[in-house]
Structure 1
Amino acid sequence: MSTFVQQEINNRNRWVYFTRGRWIAHALYWAWVLFFGTLGRLEQPITPSVIFVNFFLANLHIAVFFYLYCLYLIPYFFKRNKNTQFWLLLLLIFFLLPVSDTFFNLTYLNNYMPADERLPTDFWPAYLNTTYLYLGNFMLFSMMLFFMEKNEENNLVVELEQEKKAIELVKLDLLKTNISPDFMMRSLSQLKRAATVPEPYTPESIITFSELLRYRLYRGKQQQTPLSEEIEALKTFINFINYDQLHNNLKADLQITGDPAGKDVAALALINVLEPFCKVIPDEAADLKLSIQILTATLLLTIRYDKTAGEALVADLKQYGQDYIDLYGSTVLFNFENCDDATCKIEMTLPLLLNDGH
């Protein structure tokens, strides 16, 4: 783990009891000690010097104990699973610090305390009384820290969910906008060839490719797109492939059953699955048959390629399927198979959402 990451974890663990407004709980605790544990029992006139002695000096040692506990022992030992050192240091501080506190009270503070509030002059009774006060306040303080930890745990769960959603959105954007360089080079070569040797389809080919890129740029910023638009973009893509099928050795055909109206699908899902077939020109003429069946809540896509998929195509298709499964979970089903008859078959199920007619 890098030093920076470890430092961030240490800072978060160390200051967890003071962030997100939790310092207010500390302020309320000491206000309670001041008003009910100090001012409420004093019969003498309240002056700054009286508050200084009876509140600040009287609680100095126990405050040191509390904040050694929450700022040092917990983050640096307990949360790093150094349990033996944690308990040894906690017990050592718990029993030794009252010794210093008792001596301080007997030699200094008792002189300023009302007669009925003074500690016993003998050390051991005074020490046991101080230790008892430490134990009671420590239990109260620990309960306060426990609820702070639970609050931080809940906040952390919310943060992780938000970060997970943000990461998924970034992955989705990358997945949608990541145009293969091989596909771009092959498409541009097709356009260049069409422009050099004019063909009847040349103007349509250029317009079709520009429409495809425009659709990618526009819909790539959105999570869902109307299924009717996605299918039209897919038809545009297929037309672009078929315009130069003699040079590309690839012919695509699309069959659709069902009504796409009023349904949304993951943006560019159909466009992206077709792109891997267009990255490399097959050695021989190949047919690519796509079949789309539109149901109420799902879309069934079947692709049959009359060639055995090579390693690069297999890797691209499997990565495509895994990406969409990672993004949309169990609602996406993807299956790829190189068949015994030297063909390959892809079956995919995508979830559909009802839209408001946009």
Structure 2
Amino acid sequence: MTFQERYKKIFKTKQFRVLLHVGFWSFYLSLPIFQYFAYTTFSNNWIILITVINLIYVAYYYPFAYYVTPKFFNARKMHFFILSLLALYVSFFYLCLYIEKYAVANYTFNEADMGFLSQAVQRQVYYLPEFLQVIIVTAIPLSLKFMRRFYKLQDEKSNLEKLNTNLELNFLKSQLNPHFLFNSLNNIYSLALQKNDKAPEMIIKLSDLMRYMLYECNVEKSDLEKEVTFMKDYIDLEKIRHGENVEIDFIIDGDLKNKKIPPLLLIPFVENAFKHGVNAQFGKSWVKFKLAANATTIQFISENNKPFNGISVHTKPGGIGIENVKKRLELIYPAKHTLHIDEQNSIYKVDLEIKNL
């Protein structure tokens, strides 16, 4: 458990805070008794006097800690805080001085007791060890205030970072739906223009895909098996569209059960391979996909041939699919993934590995 977690456990749980206060003040108020046994020359009246003064410390501590510090310890009210602090010191000094002078005048103290009391009574100033004690009265709540403010700011910063990350992830995920739908409708439209009989079948397949995107993707992580089923359905859609013009391989190696990934994380690679790697004008094409999984790691490889037109078709401006995935990977798996994209003259390959699932 980190120090910050210990701090939260103590100061954010009422029972721990009560226990802490009771334990601290019990120890603090018992110090005169320890003093008495260490120096047996002190009288009982001395012990009573010091206990009374220590109780005044307690009485001053709680208003200062729970009213003055929370109310005035900020930039706008710092002058009120300083005035309150000075008032605390002055009133505390003279109250204790009055009590000590009263005790000396009305009760019996031995020579050892008077050695401690004479400095305050005779010089009309507060004795140094007692001055240090009053510093403790103000230092403790100030220290706690600093710690609370620091960890509160840390929590707020962490929550804002999480909120920003979630907003960005939701935005990136929301981009995929219209992007995917646009490409699919464009494919169906091209078949409809050709009066191709496959168009109705593609519409049915597309409706199944859209159903998954609407009802299964509103989660942080989705079952890997469902994602694979979605990819297979999309590949079937592309098979209907391209027919014999493309050779498709999809290999699955390993057990996919009980593994989760962000929804629609892999589909942009599949979509990208078909969109930019399959073109009937340049002869028969091929695409290959491989998904390997073990206990802690998954690896997804996408390969496709490239049309021989001398243009890097995968880097056309305006495409958001691959860039979308890159950003999501950086946000969700910042130090747990590797993504290699290798573009050669005739082959385009993507190799993604996610570790520590």
Give the TM-score band, short-chain normalised: 0.5 to 0.7
3-state DSSP of counterpart to 1:329: coil
Q: Which amino acid aligns with 2:266?
A: L
Question: 1:183–1:278: 8 Å Cα contact kept in structure 2?
Answer: no
* Equivalent pairs, count: 310
Letter in 2 for 1:215: Y
Which digits, 9 at most, give the CA deviation of each residue in 1:256-298, with x for residues without a partner? 3344544435233222333456789999857562321425343
1:255 alignment counterpart? 249
Partner of 2:336: 331
| SS across alignment from 1:128 | coil
Matched residue, 2:107:
115
Q: Separation in 1 of the partners of 2:173 and 2:356?
A: 17
CA distance in 1, matches of 2:120, 2:139: 30
Equivalent residues in 2 for 1:19-34 (5 A)? Answer: 20-21=13-14, 24=18, 25=20
Distance 1:124 1:74 in 2: 36
CA–CA distance in 1 between the matches of 2:187 and 2:57? 87
Q: Tell me which residue corresponds to 2:266.
A: 270
Rate the CA distance shift 1:108–1:336 in 2: closer, same or farther, 3 A: same
Q: For residues 195 and 234 of structure 2, what CA distance do their matches in structure 1 show?
A: 21
CA distance in 2, matches of 1:262, 1:282: 28
Partner in structure 2 of residue 234 of structure 1: 231
Identity %: 16
| Native 8 Å contact 2:177 2:213 kept in 1 | no
Q: What secondary structure sits across from 1:336 in the alignment?
A: strand
Tell me what 2:178 maps to. Answer: 181
| Preserved contact between residue 303 and residue 347 of structure 2 (Cα < 8 Å) | no
- Residue 301 of structure 2 is matched in structure 1 by 301
Alpha-carbon contact 1:255-1:290 (below 8 Å) kept:
yes
What RMSD, in angstroms, separates the aligned Cα atoms of the two structures?
Answer: 5.5
TM-score (structure 2 length as normaliser): 0.59
Normalising by structure 1, report the TM-score: 0.59
What amino acid is aligned across from residue 187 of structure 1 in structure 2?
S
Q: What is the aligned partner in structure 2 of residue 12 from structure 1? A: none
1:294 partner SS: strand
Name structure 2 gaps, 5 residues minimum: 1-9, 33-42, 46-51
Which one of the candidate residues 333, 350, 357 is aligned to 1:346? 350
Q: Deviations over 1:152-200 (max 9, x none)?
A: 8789878877887777666655554543434323433444566687532
Aligned residue type for 2:107? A
Does the CA contact (< 8 Å) of 2:265 and 2:325 recur in 1?
A: no
Which residue pairs with 2:198 in the alignment? Answer: 201
Find the counterpart in structure 1 of residue 290 from structure 2.
292
**1:232 shift after superposition:** 2.9
Q: 1:292 to 1:107 in 2, by over 3 A?
A: closer
- Please give the residue correspondences for 1:1-358 in structure 2 after superposition, counting only pairs within 5 Å: 20-21=13-14, 24=18, 25=20, 71=70, 98=89, 100-105=91-96, 110-111=101-102, 115-116=107-108, 120=118, 125-129=123-127, 131-139=128-136, 142=139, 175-176=172-173, 178-191=175-188, 199-220=196-217, 221=219, 223-227=221-225, 229-245=226-242, 253-263=247-257, 264-266=259-261, 267-275=263-271, 285=281, 287=285, 289-296=287-294, 297-304=297-304, 306=306, 308=312, 309-312=314-317, 316-339=321-344, 341=345, 344-351=348-355
Q: Structure 1 unaligned runs (5+)?
A: 1-16, 44-52, 354-358
Q: Contact conserved, 2:340 with 2:352, CA < 8 A, in 1?
A: yes
Per-residue deviation, 1:205: 0.8
Q: CA deviation at 1:212?
A: 0.9
Please state whether the residue corresponding to 1:127 is helix, strand or coil.
coil
Q: 1:160 to 1:116 in 2, by over 3 A?
A: farther
Shift of 1:145: 6.8
